[in-house]
Structure 1
Amino acid sequence: MTDDASPDLRASDADRERVADVLRDALTEGRLDMEEFEERLEAVYKARTYGELAPLTRDLPTAGAAAPPAPVSFTKAPVDSGGWAGRIVGGPGSSAGAVAVMSGFQRKGRWTVPKQFNCFAFWGGGEIDLREADFADREVEINCVAIMGGVQVVVPPGVEVVVRGIGIMGGFDHPRDDGPPEPGAPRVVVGGLAFWGGVDVTRKITRAERERLREERRQERLERRESRHELHRARREERERRRDREY
């Protein structure tokens, strides 16, 4: 690896293949035995970054096979408009409150949360989904009154949440703690009263993020399968070379 390559840079399929070629050459030249070759080849197809690839060829003649073909700039780019900075939009908000009496309400999708949002549920329920929402201020307050009813508040990971509600024969459920808040993320304060009812504050990822994670897992399964096939091919080729040498 050259000085221009960051060990944290994600490796491509072509990078892994270049390292695999170096290992095959080392096996043919007798620099690696079959057991070492199989261990390193398996590690190649599991590697995600240049930092994981580089040690696999460091003691071989062609060390640096994991480096990218050209220098790359690794200066961190500023936060774009798609980050939290682009979601603190100011203004009055697109909805100031909601009421559900023996019915229900929803606030979800792309909407703007006002600085203060008030909702009331009596023998009914409501859903306040903030995962795709914009925010009128860096700190917003959601006041929920649930009487023999319930309200669910859904927040994305990275958002700081403070729950201050009072429960009387009811309660306010806190979200699962998933680490410190992300830089620039808004602060959501949930308060109010739950009487014979409840307010549930949960963290969930968006559908797009869930699909992205599912695709990553699918790619990992494909790479593991390809790694096994590559090991089988390498073993077969090595057996054939041994037979050729014997004859």
Structure 2
Amino acid sequence: MDPEARASDRDRETTVVRLQQAYVDGRLTSEEMESRVERAMTAVSHGDLAMLTADLPERPGEVVTLTSKAGKIVRTGQWRVPRVLRIESEFADPRLDLTEAEIDYPEIILDLHLSFGSARITLPQGASADTDEVTCEWGSVSSEAPGAARPGLLHVRVTGELSFSKVRISYRGTTKRRWFTR
């Protein structure tokens, strides 16, 4: 992410949640947390926010990497979604259903690195999904979800690289197939 890019309210909120968790984990004193939260709320750029958490390690389970050559990667039902889920696959067709998942973050990142195959992401109603950080060689990305974050609702950032793969993002129970390609 470009450190000079302007931060959004969602970016500031995500940083505040991380700072609060660092305080709960005993990594920050109350004074440090309060000072950093105040600076996060007035941060202008992504670089400003990154400085506030640069000395904090990722929490266990915040970043998970799933790797598969040709096996299935399926997550449905009540599964815990990490802050960053990285999927590296050559021939698998990942299926991620977030409708009943336990999600502790206002924003999650799905970092997809797919050579062949199709990924399907099912969102809970009202969630948004930004796909601007996906690089497609011969693949495609289609989404029926709005790209802009909505206050109080889950926002999913989809990032990564698709060689000969497709990513489809939809809501559960969508009867009419309308895919808007980026």
What residue number does 1:166 align with?
Answer: 135
Residue type of the alignment partner of 1:175: E
Residue type of the alignment partner of 1:137: Y
- Residue-by-residue CA offset, 1:140-180 (whole Å, 9 max, x unaligned): 11101110122111112211211121110111212244998
Moved segments of 4+, more than 3 Å: 90-95, 176-181
Quote the offset at 1:115 in angstroms: 0.9
TM-score (norm 1): 0.42
Uncovered stretches (5+) of structure 1, i.e. residues with no partner: 1-89, 211-247
Against the structure 1 CA distance between its residues 180 and 194, is the aligned structure 2 distance closer, same or farther, given a 3 Å change threshold?
closer
Against the structure 1 CA distance between its residues 151 and 127, is the aligned structure 2 distance closer, same or farther, given a 3 Å change threshold?
same
What residue number does 2:157 align with?
Answer: 189
Residue of structure 2 aligned with 1:145, choices 90, 93, 113: 113
- Residue-by-residue CA offset, 1:84-129 (whole Å, 9 max, x unaligned): xxxxxx7754882322212211111111211111002212211111
Computed over aligned residues only, the root mean square deviation of the Cα atoms, in angstroms, reads: 2.9
Greater share of strand: 2
Residue of structure 1 aligned with 2:71, choices 80, 97, 103: 103
- Structure 1 counterpart SS, 2:73: strand
Residue type of the alignment partner of 1:185: L
- Structure 1 counterpart SS, 2:99: coil
Residue of structure 2 aligned with 1:175, choices 124, 144, 158: 144
How many residues matched?
Answer: 117
CA contact (8 A) 2:62 2:83 kept: no
* Identity fraction in percent: 20
What residue number does 2:86 align with?
Answer: 118
Note the 1:56-135 alignment, pairs <5 A: 92-93=60-61, 96-135=64-103
- Structure 1 counterpart SS, 2:94: strand
Residue type of the alignment partner of 1:173: S
What residue number does 2:167 align with?
Answer: 199
CA contact (8 A) 2:121 2:170 kept: yes
- Structure 2 counterpart SS, 1:189: strand
Residue type of the alignment partner of 1:174: S
- Residue-by-residue CA offset, 1:184-222 (whole Å, 9 max, x unaligned): 21211011111011121112259xxx9xxxxxxxxxxxx
Write the distance in 1 (CA, Å) between the matches of 2:102 and 2:71: 26
Against the structure 1 CA distance between its residues 176 and 159, is the aligned structure 2 distance closer, same or farther, given a 3 Å change threshold?
closer
Q: Which has the higher contact order (CA 8 A, sep 6+)?
A: 2
CA contact (8 A) 2:63 2:86 kept: no
